[in-house]
Chains A and B, each alone.
Chain A
Amino acid sequence: MAWTGKILRVNLSEGTLVAEELNREWADQYLGQRGLATKYLVEEIAPDCDPLGPDNKLILATGPLTGTMASTGGRYSVVTKGPLTGCVACSNSGGFMGNELKNAGWDMIIVEGRSPEPVYLYIENEHAELLPADEIWGTSVWRTDEWLHNRHQDPLLRIAAVGRPAEKGCLYAAIINDLHRAAGRSGVGAVMASKNLKAVAVRGTLGVGNLKDPKRFIEAVDAAKRVLANNAVTGQGLPTYGTQVLMNVINELGALPTDNAREVQFDGAHDISGEAMHEPRPNDGKPNLVRNAGCFGCTIACGRISTIDKGHFTVSHKPEYWGASGGLEYEAAWALGADTGVDDLDALTYANFLCNEDGMDPISLGATIAAAMELTACGALAPERTGGIEFRFGSAEALVKGAEWVARGEGFGLDLALGSKRLCEKYGHPELSMTVKGQEFPAYDPRGIQGMGLTYATSNRGACHLRSYTVASEVLGIPEKTDPLTTDGKPALVKAFQDATAAVDSSGLCVFTTFAWTLEDIAPQIDAACEGDWDVDKLLTVGERIWNMERDFNLRAGIGGDEDRLPERLIKEAAKTGPAKGLVNGLDKMLPEYYELRGWSADGVPRAETRARLGLS
């Protein structure tokens, strides 16, 4: 119950679509979404398979609370072996796709093989078919979305699609649903395009029901919503400023990686902040922010809906960008802004719109452009290699040209589409790549927020803030305040956050709820909806099991403890300004303790007793 109990298996090589029963035993051990889809993936693919080859699989998975009235219960995850990292990749998206899949009666779609021709997957409740995508291949996500709505004469279709970068093999191509929500990280879009699958279009009218105890579910959901409404972060900060509430805060803390993490504070931080998005523009008197928006079922509504100044150089001759679209979230504003040294809010918003339009991860895009800028600064990359434009820190022109070239798969964009690690290797300076396991790290400098160093180093999908967001504790004091400048206690904090987050990511709920909710708020909602007894301890065990399963896959894929490390800059070059001045990240102090707490060997391999305790084969 709460699960629909059905999986759609699509074999693109054979052109077959088969309904299967969900493995309920696995659902009890891995809950749903991230955990359950990863279980299917690790059971079904060879860890050493080519991420962009037909042997890799792509799984779109909902959680048991997806499609219910639980606040934020509309999430789905895309799980696959990622081309950017070679690790297990799991990208979570909101919008309205997850609930539509669930309303069509599916917990999960498993996509296998590779279609001989471009196709899209059309699902109308139990009916599913593959249809030709020749007319939309080579077009953007926005164009694809419009074409599919017209083709099916159905304004209510929910669509997830890849754009041109994915087709051209951009290693951080995203899957975009609902025009501007993204399964953004780790290049899941490139995997989808490698299968010649352009889009998934879904219409579900069956509804989501079969709750274990509907009355208790509604009571639990209502109580949890009140917690969100009464919390300062989820009730006020996020609706008003979105995640961009953090820009000035993190800059003050001296933890805002700037100019490819050469600096930890950005002079232009205010100009690209959540506060600035509310301020009237000089040219037209309108603010960047049109309003906030919620994903399906979300009572927080942190989403930004923005416009660009029509007179701005990026769009003055392009009316197609004069309307509203998903605006800057903190990570995107950091990557496209502080990390590149660009303080032009309209230029950042335009680059972000390109990410929406064509499906690119703005974190990896921004960080890769920042790396190109440092390569330029150190003389390794001349303007003749970069389309005649000097990739200088602070150059809005370089930022938007770079974004346009990646979006269209043109010129220097093909180099930028490789991601920071491969770009820096290609131009002879691998040390300038701010990545872990090949994935660009996000908007928190681990010299100023020590726990984030361990978070990045040990994340199973490469550097990522969303696997253990210790910023909550180290900066915001949630659930309790810890000192961001020390490593003390951080291994335990990281482990606890990793396990809890893995459970939340498997439920159908959004991890942003955990600014206000603990598992004490979440467990009753799952327990009232789902078969079985779901309490906090069980969720933590499920989370720990998922974490170890992901780790195990990475180990079998050849990515071991020797890759649990940070870019040299973060552990050798001290922060030059701010509260963390003089500090580097103390990863070497945290990592051994973390391994021990995890029940792993000194080289980062889960011990036999740990595996046995968690029921991992």
Chain B
Amino acid sequence: MQKALLIDPDKCTGCLQCEMACSFEHEGRFNPSRSRIRVFTFHHEGCFVPYACTQCADAWCLQACPVEAIVDDRTLGVKRVVDERCVGCKVCTIACPFGTINYSQASGKVIKCDLCGGDPACARACPTTAIRYTDADQTGYEKMRRWAARSITAAEATA
């Protein structure tokens, strides 16, 4: 079963534990600037929004790569960069509509979320469950449940 990152910005406090976990997992250092997942602060609105690659089924980055350095791992449902093949041309960074694949000056390659091979460090580190790792076919389940709960309230109100 494929799983996906399920992000609920309402729960995010902007602490950046996810960014540290991601960079520590991939680079061995706590370095938010090297994190594949990023948290955006909308100060004026008072919102924090984590954002990461959604692992498109038909991925722009993969299509654009001239050296086939981005591969589709169907088991995990992840598009993964093969460092040995990546030449750092950055075409994928242009192709991706969401900006979630980025060049790294340190390695001369691109980096993107690889779901940590099936156990995403960001989801483990999140203190508020704003980031969870759940069944890729059921990412709407909790939202549906919340709406379903409303019908109970409505029924109670009319009873």
Instruction: Find residues 43-62 in chain B having any chain A CB closer than 8 Å to their own CB.
Output: 43-48
Q: Is the CB–CB distance between B127 and A225 below 8 Å?
A: yes
Q: Is the CB–CB distance between B33 and A305 below 8 Å?
A: no
Query: Taking the complex as formed, is A3 at the interface, i.e. its CB lies under 8 A from any CB of chain B?
Result: no
Query: Taking the complex as formed, is A459 at the interface, i.e. its CB lies under 8 A from any CB of chain B?
Result: no
Q: Is the CB–CB distance between B15 and A297 below 8 Å?
A: yes
Q: Mark B14-52, 1 if CB is under 8 A from A, else 0.
A: 111100110110011111111000000001111110000
Q: Is the CB–CB distance between A69 and B14 below 8 Å?
A: no
Residues of A within 8 A of B31 (CB): 103, 205-209
Chain B minimum-CB-distance residue to A203:
B33
Select one of A156, A208, A214, A299 contacting B17, CB under 8 A. Answer: A299
Chain A minimum-CB-distance residue to B33:
A205
Distance of A156 Cα from B48 Cα, bound (Å): 15
Chain B minimum-CB-distance residue to A296:
B16
Q: Is the CB–CB distance between A209 and B30 below 8 Å?
A: yes
Chain A minimum-CB-distance residue to B40:
A155
Distance of A296 Cα from B45 Cα, bound (Å): 19
Distance of A556 Cα from B33 Cα, bound (Å): 44
Residues of B within 8 A of A96 (CB): 16
Chain B minimum-CB-distance residue to A298:
B15
Residues of B within 8 A of A179 (CB): 43
Instruction: Find residues 511-544 in chain A having any chain B CB closer than 8 Å to their own CB.
Output: none
Distance of A19 Cα from B76 Cα, bound (Å): 47
Q: Nearest chain A CB to B2's CB is how many angstroms away?
A: 27
Query: Taking the complex as formed, is A204 at the interface, i.e. its CB lies under 8 A from any CB of chain B?
Result: yes
Query: Taking the complex as formed, is A31 at the interface, i.e. its CB lies under 8 A from any CB of chain B?
Result: no
Query: Taking the complex as formed, is A68 at the interface, i.e. its CB lies under 8 A from any CB of chain B?
Result: yes
Chain B minimum-CB-distance residue to A205:
B33
Residues of B within 8 A of A295 (CB): 15
Q: Is the CB–CB distance between B15 and A296 below 8 Å?
A: yes
Instruction: Find residues 200-230 in chain A having any chain B CB closer than 8 Å to their own CB.
Output: 204-209, 214, 218, 225, 229
Chain A minimum-CB-distance residue to B126:
A299
Q: How many A-B residue pairs have CB under 8 A?
A: 86
Total number of B residues with any Cβ neighbor in A under 8 Å: 26
Query: Taking the complex as formed, is B125 at the interface, i.e. its CB lies under 8 A from any CB of chain A?
Result: yes
Q: Nearest chain B CB to A47's CB is how many angstroms away?
A: 37
Q: Is the CB–CB distance between A103 and B32 below 8 Å?
A: yes
Query: Taking the complex as formed, is A22 at the interface, i.e. its CB lies under 8 A from any CB of chain B?
Result: no
Q: Nearest chain A CB to B16's CB is how many angstroms away?
A: 6
Query: Taking the complex as formed, is A323 at the interface, i.e. its CB lies under 8 A from any CB of chain B?
Result: yes
Q: Given A69-B21, A293-B48, A324-B46 in contact, is the A299-B29 Cβ separation under 8 Å?
A: no
Residues of B within 8 A of A297 (CB): 15-17, 20
Select one of B13, B28, B33, B43 contacting A204, CB under 8 A. Answer: B33
Residues of A within 8 A of B45 (CB): 290, 323-324
Q: Mark B74-114, 1 if CB is under 8 A from A, else 0.
A: 00000000000000000000000000000000000000000
Q: Is the CB–CB distance between A293 and B14 below 8 Å?
A: yes
Distance of A307 Cα from B44 Cα, bound (Å): 9
Distance of A218 Cα from B44 Cα, bound (Å): 34
Distance of A69 Cα from B18 Cα, bound (Å): 9
Q: Given A69-B24, A291-B46, A299-B127 in contact, is the A205-B17 Cβ separation under 8 Å?
A: no
Residues of B within 8 A of A303 (CB): 13
* Interface, chain A (partner B; CB < 8 A): 67-69, 71, 96, 99, 103, 156, 179, 204-209, 214, 218, 225, 229, 239, 290-299, 301, 303, 305-307, 323-325
Extra A-B contacts (9), CB below 8 Å, given A207-B27, A296-B15: A68-B30, A103-B31, A179-B43, A208-B30, A290-B45, A294-B13, A297-B15, A323-B46, A324-B46
Could you list 19 examples of A-B contacts with CB < 8 Å? Answer: A69-B24, A69-B30, A69-B125, A71-B17, A96-B16, A205-B34, A206-B29, A208-B30, A208-B31, A209-B28, A218-B24, A290-B45, A293-B13, A293-B46, A297-B17, A299-B15, A323-B43, A323-B44, A323-B46
